[in-house]
Amino acid sequence: MKLLISADMEGISGIVDWEQVTPGHVEYQSRGRQLMTDDVNAAIQGAFESGADEVLVSDGHWNARNILIEELDSRVRLNSGSPSPFAMLQGIDDQPPPDAVMLVGYHGMSGTKKAVLDHTWSDTRVRSVFLNGRAVGEIGLNAAVAAHYGAPVVALTGDQHACEEGMNMIGPELEIAVVKNATGRFAAQCLPLGEARHKICEAAARAVIKFREGKAPPRFAVAAPVQLAVEFVYTQHADRAYLIPGAERVTGTRLEYTAPDIVTAHRAFRAMTMLARD
């Protein structure tokens, strides 16, 4: 069984502020990167302990150069650097393809009430995203791409809202590890690191066992053609993102795009957000 671990940073144990996850800041360099690497290592350990044959890691935050490879479990390969074809899910088209995906350090979608660093892809440019009319954040977007390649999302770690969002999208079979309880966008009651890592390790282990027993969660499949809608923060963002051929301007801040499949919708969304500068 081959597992792809996609790691984001806002839902990592102990993280509560942008300064801890943004390159250039002291706390990012001195603490954030190590915290992220250690959460990922806990997931890797749990996966191997319960019988995963291979684990691939995708660094999914910012420029995808956060995880300290020097400190990463030496049994895994790391997808690092940006842009890459699948971004947070780089490696999903690997050969042989991953059988399942685990989301580590994920966060609630933009607008989630009192969730640590809630946002969807870009904090300053994207208000909300819809796939076939359903609101999704990064959990839903990545789960949908994984489903296209046949892989279910089997486990997720983050604050209580990220875990709840995952359960709502994927189902109660999803294994979760709540590593902090958010009390605001920049505040949370964080578990002791040892306890948080233990929960991550256990969630990964249970997810791999369930997968091997044929009890994995259903794939988060999105029907084709895929109707993508993106609500931007300001009209200037939509002005620029509209340059994507095929994009339709619905309102001042909203664009819609019809894609033949989720992979194309995902690429269109990423291209729109890259174009949508301030």
Which residues are marked as active site? 119
The tokens for 276 are: 């949508």
Q: With CB under 5 A as the contact rule, which of the stretches 2-10, 38-46, 64-72, 208-216 interacts with Zn ion?
A: 2-10
Closest to Zn ion by CB, 138 vs 165, is 138
Closest to Zn ion by CB, 8 vs 175, is 8
Closest separation between CB of residue 47 and Zn ion, Å?
A: 21
Q: Which residue has the CB atom at the shortest distance from Zn ion?
A: 8
Of the residues 3, 6, 7, 8, which one makes contact with Zn ion according to CB under 5 A: 8
Closest separation between CB of residue 169 and Zn ion, Å?
A: 15
Closest separation between CB of residue 138 and Zn ion, Å?
A: 5
CA 260 – CA 225 distance, rounded (Å): 5
Closest to Zn ion by CB, 39 vs 138, is 138
Tell me if 145 sits within 8 A of 266, measured CB to CB.
Answer: yes
User: Which string of x and - marks every residue 114-143 that binds Zn ion (by CB under 5 A)?
Assistant: ------------------------x-----
Closest separation between CB of residue 64 and Zn ion, Å?
A: 11
165 forms part of the interface with Zn ion (CB under 5 A)? no
Give the side-chain half-sphere CA count within 13 A for 131.
28
Closest to Zn ion by CB, 46 vs 60, is 60
Closest to Zn ion by CB, 163 vs 216, is 163
Closest separation between CB of residue 235 and Zn ion, Å?
A: 24
Closest to Zn ion by CB, 38 vs 138, is 138
Give the side-chain half-sphere CA count within 13 A for 171.
11
User: Which string of x and - marks every residue 79-118 that binds Zn ion (by CB under 5 A)?
Assistant: ----------------------------------------
Query: How many residues of this chain interact with Zn ion, rule: CB under 5 A?
Result: 2
Closest separation between CB of residue 63 and Zn ion, Å?
A: 13
Complete DSSP assignment for 74-124: TTSEEE-SSS-TTGGGTTTT-SSPPSEEEEEEE-PPTT-TT-TT--SS-TT
Contacts with Zn ion, residue ranges (CB under 5 A): 8, 138
